[in-house]
Chain A
Amino acid sequence: KAGVTQTPRYLIKTRGQQVTLSCSPISGHRSVSWYQQTPGQGLQFLFEYFSETQRNKGNFPGRFSGRQFSNSRSEMNVSTLELGDSALYLCASSSRTATNEKLFFGSGTQLSVL
């Protein structure tokens, strides 16, 4: 069974640009979550989608948004990039058959903002 797939693996952008990251969950998983990982702040929750609906949201500005498609694939968008947005963005999927089900992470997209 294939794991969580994130594309692209690496991305370099400049301040003010926008970026879209993609995530394909494990087959059969309907929940997709996004996390930001930085050396200073660690792993922080961005948002979670289930059946195309955002169910939970972290404490990030509105520049961070996401969506989920009918096939459970998800995209995350960051607009007006800032230097502080440089981070590893991780996607995790879950079968969500019960509350607090196991999360399986992808390898992430390393975003560098210059």
Chain B
Amino acid sequence: GENVEQHPSTLSVQEGDSAVIKCTYSDSASNYFPWYKQELGKGPQLIIDIRSNVGEKKDQRIAVTLNKTAKHFSLHITETQPEDSAVYFCAASRPTGGGNKLTFGTGTQLKVEL
């Protein structure tokens, strides 16, 4: 089955700096890669996603890049703010005959310091 590795497990940056989180996946058939942000006491919130026919996608301060050949994708957050502090999860999904099944990375605890 699919295996998703995520690094780093913790990341501390100064406010205004950029943060980068990297993930690798094992299943070459995976074609959908979402990123989720989870704050304490809440469920994961979808912040951005990318499909395998696109190499990069940007939404304001957040961007995701995908390298299908190397089977890795990254989340980039620019001009970080204290409210960006949370746990971030990457995930991968492959077509499953009409269903949805995400395999998640182990998460990155991002701390934005003032």
Which positions in A face B, CB cutoff 8 Å? Answer: 4, 31, 33, 35, 42-45, 48, 50, 55-56, 58, 90, 92, 94, 96, 99-108
- Contacts of B104 on A, CB cut-off 8 Å? 42-44
How many angstroms between the C-alpha atoms of A58 and B102 in the bound complex?
A: 10
Rank and list the top 7 A-B pairs by shortest CB-CB distance, nearest first: A100-B32, A105-B43, A43-B104, A56-B99, A55-B99, A107-B43, A56-B101
Name the prevailing secondary structure of the B interface residues: loop
Name the prevailing secondary structure of the A interface residues: strand
- Contacts of B107 on A, CB cut-off 8 Å? 42
Which positions in B face A, CB cutoff 8 Å? Answer: 31-32, 34, 36, 41-46, 49, 51, 89, 91, 93-107
CB distance from B42 to the nearest CB of A (A): 5
Q: List 29 A-B contacts (CB under 8 A).
A: A4-B43, A33-B101, A42-B89, A42-B105, A42-B107, A43-B104, A44-B104, A48-B99, A48-B100, A55-B96, A55-B97, A55-B99, A56-B96, A56-B99, A58-B101, A90-B43, A94-B100, A96-B100, A99-B32, A99-B95, A100-B31, A100-B32, A100-B51, A103-B34, A103-B102, A104-B46, A105-B45, A106-B43, A107-B41
